[in-house]
Amino acid sequence: MPDADQPTASLPRTRRRNEVVTFLVLAFGIWPIVAVGVVGAYGFLVWMFQLIFGPPGPPAH
């Protein structure tokens, strides 16, 4: 494993390419899917909570 102060230009070409591909898969593939899943799960949780306990607001008279 290279040292932290070693420049990335000295990494082997195939390793650098693998790191770039891994970054692209994470940045544009996996993380957007995870983000949509988290937001969707939160929305579902709020929806179910409101079905059980009613919508927020002052109590009806």
Q: What is the pLDDT of residue 59?
A: 76
Q: How far apart (Å, rounded) are the C-alpha atoms in residues 49 and 4?
A: 48
- pLDDT in the model for residue 1: 55
pLDDT in tens, 15-45: 999 999 999 999 999 999 999 999 999 999 9
- Please report the pLDDT score of residue 6 as a whole number: 62
Predicted pLDDT at 7 = 62
On whether the pTM is more than 0.85, the answer is no
Distance (Å, rounded) from C-alpha 27 to C-alpha 1? 23
22 or 56: which carries more pLDDT confidence? Answer: 22
